[in-house]
Amino acid sequence: MTTDAVVPEAAPERPADGCRHPRPTSRRGRAVARRAGRTSARSGGQDPPVGAADVAGRPGVDPAGARAEPDGTDRDGASGDRRDDRDLVVVEATGGRARASAVARDRLRRRRALVLGAMAGLTLTGVALAAVGVREVRTSTAGRYEQELGPDDPGYEAYVVPTPTLAVLHRGADGSLVGAALIALAPEDRGGTVVVVPTSAVVARPAGEATIAEVYRTEGPEAAAGALGQAVTAAAAEHVEVDDARWRDLVAPVGGLEVSIDAPVGEWEAGRVELRPEDVGAFLAARADGESELERVERQQRFWNAWLPLVAGGGEDVLPGEVETGIGRFVRGVARGDGSAAALPVVRDGDGEAERFRTDVGRVNAFVSHAVPYPASPAPGARIRVRLLNGTGDPSLTPVAARALVASGAEVVLAGNTAAPGVDRTRILYLGEDRAPLALWIEANLDLGRVEETASGQDGRRVSDDEIDVTVVLGEDAEDLIER
């Protein structure tokens, strides 16, 4: 049996219409444009590159297999090429000195209130960083923010807003978990991916390993949503439970749908199957005797890919209930941008007689970089927290580098620009020996820049130790390194 889902080739990032810095089409032209108008001298005195070193393994990542196709049962796929031109959506939190006057403080309070009121819809499209203002209030510290800086200005930094995610947990007629999916939305709720995951996927728990279904049974839906995020390596920000009655209500406005199946299951024969709204829950939960759960996952994936186009063309009343939050918002958003469903890449767990699966560590990060472009780490240490600074003067390089970092197992927490453009060489900076393996992991996976330890702070600027692990500074060589 084959699956419809494949991980697509990543398309090049495209600047939005009206971008203030149109990018030349040739590499030579881009290099000339980046160098034009520079007044500061290039930095010198480069240290020799770090030699070969053993890289400590990351949780959920296999260094030896990170670039190889593993053996065994697997599934992968994502709506990748439709997502390559997405905005890097961020929360404004710039560096620099805080103003001390009462007038400036009052002005800052007013700006915060205005930004919070408009944050749901404010996005600067294209390759520039978009500024929205929710986490600034939560993390603001005296001396950290200079409000006058804009996304293209030297010294600008911002917190990256993670891709919105929702865990959908299907409770079967017997009360067990029979389906699990993580929905990820594209910017402005236009497009996205439904990542379908086997409930028998194994994740780490404090008392040992357990499947998502076991976590649901023993710890409840909230813990199961967290376990689902662990399997996908991207946190689920929200979760919702649906039962057979809820599936009936969700599908009722489109009047049912057709799905093609390769083998009989339950009361349905192989071939084209017409599903009435009241049949959907039972169909998604059905599993034939001796059948692998991956066969059920594939049917669930096909259901989503049949339902989403009907939602896209169904008008305002195509989903019941609230449409600005919860499952109504997420399903509408994915359908609105021609999003699709994809199965999480997994491999069969050979331990024990019961069928269990593990996330395919050699393929999941590349998969997530397309399906959930800006993931939040599902647990401490699951992803390397990166501060990404662009030192080239070419803003289009930032989202390209961010995607590459996510594909290497990172979470881009902050993004922005160096204090001055014209950085020659890409560097990977860390503070403290405990973070050296993390910096070496980024270097080994991306072959990007050289690793350096900073004596104090990150790149000479104040960033809390509990915010990031590594700072990546993009230099003039970054574009060639990433393309290679």
For 227-244, how does the pLDDT look when each residue is reduced to its tens digit (9 = 90+)?
999 999 999 999 999 999
373 in a structural domain: no
Same domain, 154 and 169: no
456 Cβ neighbours under 8 A, 6+ residues apart: 431
Q: How many domains does the chain have?
A: 2
Between 17 and 161, residue with greater pLDDT = 161
Residue 410 lies in a domain: no
Domain boundary pick from 331, 366, 401: 366
- Per the structure block, which two tokens stand in for 53? 């070193």
DSSP run (H or E) holding 257: strand 257-261
Q: Is the pLDDT of residue 61 over 60?
A: no
Q: Determine if the pTM surpasses 0.85.
A: no
Same domain, 302 and 216: yes
Domain housing 105: 89-160
Domain boundary among 115, 136, 160: 160
Q: Which helix (H) or strand (E) holds 389?
A: strand 384-390
Report the candidate in 254, 255, 275, 257 with the shortest Cα–Cα distance to residue 265: 275
- The reply to whether 141 and 174 lie within a common domain is no
Residue 350 shares a structural domain with residue 206: yes
The answer to the question of residue 287 being in a domain is: yes
Residue type, 184: A
Claim to verify: residue 151 and residue 234 sit in the same structural domain: no
Evaluate if residue 76 carries a pLDDT over 80.
no
Whether the CB-CB separation of 366 and 404 falls below 8 Å is answered with no
Of 366, 387, 414, the position where a domain reaches its end is 366
Tell me what pLDDT residue 111 has.
Answer: 44
Poorest-pLDDT segment among 177-181, 186-190, 430-434? 430-434
Q: Which residues contact 381 (CB under 8 A, 6 or more apart)?
A: 58, 59
Residue 42 carries which side chain, given as an amino acid letter?
A: R
